[in-house]
């Protein structure tokens, strides 16, 4: 049991009692009510639900800073793809650990990932103590042989993750995008999602170029095209990016309850554009936040996405009342949990104990007027204590489960291999 005493949570100072991997009680908890309990003094702290990052390629931490400020195809052809060709399970494992350390330090407790070598990713997630939804990224480039291989891999990884029997690690399906995956692959993905009861994680409408490609090929916008063969039927989908959308596509997103992963920093940095989030909100669509990979961000600090989301759309629409502080914060908590179908994203009795504590003695958090405003507009994202699934994974800024120094050293070593 863990007892967080006198912490500011849900609008007042109270205690939080954690038993197993769940929040047992919020309110006043006397020390003699509980036994075998670890007590955390919350007096100077606030508690928030751990953040949920709904679009990552986590091992790409190792590609951080490799190339910036370039046109997309130059970036992919000359830098990213040659390095990705050298990846292996071991490299991916260390890159994931580096990412987990960064996410834990910046208050993220769950991430939704699409990548390769999932054995390496799953091992790192397990050791770090984080919660993750992991999908193998499928690309068939409209080639039948490749399609069969990709689908086999995807199914293999669902089974692999299920067999780990770790409730913190959840399998998913990751068809890369409509411009890289055939209709046959996408139809099969819908079937597999229903068969294994897993969600689908896909890139949608990230750039004008790819939309043009899909339209030229199919005569339809990407969402219309996928909807035409039932891709969204009876499955749970997270669509990352959604930068450029027609009204008809927004109608489909609403009708099919598709979750959006908004990645404003990546979309700005790669010059993809700005997603019409205020429009999606008006339709009641579930918007969540993602950082994307470190090749295009270049960090995993979800608090940056919260702030940029809250300010960017004001500046673009010239309306200071769109996406208020709490709305942006909910994108990264409640809405993320809803999208991933996990009982998290809020600090409530019976919910998963994914809790982040922030010491308020920081100059940019004074005066202590409006905590929600401070979290969204003033905070730098670096938190003090992190509890995931009822276990303390960071205490006073120190990661407990993994050796930070060793991970940094190994990350450099892996990077040398990629660059050689």
105-134: contacts with a second copy (CB under 8 A): 105-106
Q: What is the DSSP-derived secondary structure letter of residue 73?
A: H
> Could you tell me the smallest distance in angstroms from the CB atom of residue 202 to a second copy?
22
> Could you tell me the smallest distance in angstroms from the CB atom of residue 209 to a second copy?
10
> Could you tell me the smallest distance in angstroms from the CB atom of residue 295 to a second copy?
10
Distance CA 390, CA 354 (A): 7
Distance CA 296, CA 145 (A): 31
Give the number of residues written for the chain. 420
Structure tokens at 157: 């990884």
> Could you tell me the smallest distance in angstroms from the CB atom of residue 327 to a second copy?
9
Among positions 356-385, residues that touch a second copy (CB under 8 A) are 361, 363-364, 366-370, 373-374, 377-378, 380-382
Which residue carries 């994307």 as its tokens? 292
Q: Count Cβ atoms within 10 A of the Cβ of residue 162 and give its class: 0-12 exposed, 13-18 middle, 19 or more buried.
A: middle
Is 301 an interacting residue with respect to a second copy (CB under 8 A)? yes
**Beta carbon nearer to a second copy, 62 or 202:** 62
Backbone angles phi, psi at 137, to 5 degrees: -80, 115
> Could you tell me the smallest distance in angstroms from the CB atom of residue 239 to a second copy?
19
Among positions 11-40, residues that touch a second copy (CB under 8 A) are none
Among positions 37-76, residues that touch a second copy (CB under 8 A) are 61-62, 64-66, 68-72, 75
**Beta carbon nearer to a second copy, 166 or 273:** 273
Exactly one of 38, 319, 349, 403 binds a second copy (CB under 8 A); that residue is 319
Q: Are 201 and 114 in contact (CB under 8 A)?
A: yes
> Could you tell me the smallest distance in angstroms from the CB atom of residue 222 to a second copy?
18
Which residue carries 């939309």 as its tokens? 211
**Beta carbon nearer to a second copy, 257 or 373:** 373
Is 164 an interacting residue with respect to a second copy (CB under 8 A)? no
**Beta carbon nearer to a second copy, 235 or 386:** 386
Burial per residue of 91-124, b for 16 or more beta-carbon CB atoms within 10 angstroms, e otherwise: bbbbbbbbbbbbbbbbbbbbbbbbbbbbebbbbb
Among positions 192-251, residues that touch a second copy (CB under 8 A) are 208
Hey, is 371 helix, strand or coil? helix
Contact segment (CB under 8 A) with a second copy among 14-22, 130-138, 233-241, 402-410 equals 402-410
Is 321 an interacting residue with respect to a second copy (CB under 8 A)? yes
Contact segment (CB under 8 A) with a second copy among 23-31, 157-165, 220-228, 410-418 equals 410-418
Is 300 an interacting residue with respect to a second copy (CB under 8 A)? yes
**Beta carbon nearer to a second copy, 60 or 344:** 60
Exactly one of 136, 225, 331, 415 binds a second copy (CB under 8 A); that residue is 415
Give the rounded distance of the alpha carbon of 241 from its chain centre: 12
> Could you tell me the smallest distance in angstroms from the CB atom of residue 213 to a second copy?
17
Distance CA 217, CA 196 (A): 31
Among positions 253-272, residues that touch a second copy (CB under 8 A) are 265, 267-272
Which residue carries 């190994």 as its tokens? 410
Backbone angles phi, psi at 330, to 5 degrees: -65, -35
Distance CA 369, CA 28 (A): 24
Q: Are 356 and 49 in contact (CB under 8 A)?
A: yes
> Could you tell me the smallest distance in angstroms from the CB atom of residue 150 to a second copy?
29
């Amino acid at each position: 049991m863990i007892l967080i005493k006198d912490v500011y949570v849900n609008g007042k100072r109270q205690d939080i009692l954690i038993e197993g991997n769940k929040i047992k009680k919020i309110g006043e908890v006397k020390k003699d009510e509980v036994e075998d309990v670890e007590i955390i003094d919350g007096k100077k702290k606030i508690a928030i639900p751990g953040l949920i990052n709904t679009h990552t390629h986590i091992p790409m931490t190792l590609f951080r800073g490799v190339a910036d400020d370039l046109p997309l195809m130059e970036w992919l052809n000359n830098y990213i793809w040659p390095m990705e060709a050298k990846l292996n399970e071991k490299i991916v494992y260390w890159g994931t650990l580096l990412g987990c350390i960064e996410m834990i330090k910046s208050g993220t407790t769950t991430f939704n990932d699409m990548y390769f070598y999932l054995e390496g990713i799953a091992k790192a997630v397990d050791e770090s103590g984080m919660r993750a939804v992991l999908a193998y990224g499928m690309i068939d480039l409209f080639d039948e042989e490749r399609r069969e291989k990709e689908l086999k891999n995807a199914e293999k990884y669902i089974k692999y993750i299920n067999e780990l029997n770790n409730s913190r690690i959840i399998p998913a399906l990751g068809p890369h995008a409509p411009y890289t995956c055939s209709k046959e692959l996408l139809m099969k993905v819908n079937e597999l999602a229903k068969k294994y009861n897993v969600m689908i994680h896909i890139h949608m409408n990230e750039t004008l170029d790819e939309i043009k490609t899909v339209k030229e090929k199919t005569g339809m916008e990407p969402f219309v095209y996928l909807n035409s063969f039932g891709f969204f039927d009876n499955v749970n989908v997270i669509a990352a990016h959604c930068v450029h959308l027609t009204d008809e596509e927004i109608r489909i997103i609403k009708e099919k309850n598709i979750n959006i992963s908004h990645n404003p920093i990546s979309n700005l940095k790669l010059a993809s554009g700005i997603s019409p989030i205020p429009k999606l909100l008006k339709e009641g669509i579930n918007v969540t936040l993602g950082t994307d990979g470190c090749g295009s961000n270049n960090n995993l600090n979800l608090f940056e996405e919260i702030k940029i989301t809250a300010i960017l759309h004001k500046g673009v629409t010239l309306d200071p009342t769109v996406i208020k502080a709490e709305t942006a914060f909910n994108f990264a908590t409640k809405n993320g949990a809803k999208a991933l179908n996990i009982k998290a994203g809020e600090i409530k009795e019976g919910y998963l104990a994914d809790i982040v504590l922030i010491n308020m003695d920081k100059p940019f958090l004074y005066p202590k007027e409006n905590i929600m405003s401070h979290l969204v507009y003033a905070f730098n994202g670096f938190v003090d204590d992190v509890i995931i699934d009822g276990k303390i994974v960071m205490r006073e800024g120190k990661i407990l489960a993994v050796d930070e120094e060793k991970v940094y050293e190994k990350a450099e070593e892996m990077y040398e291999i990629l660059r050689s």
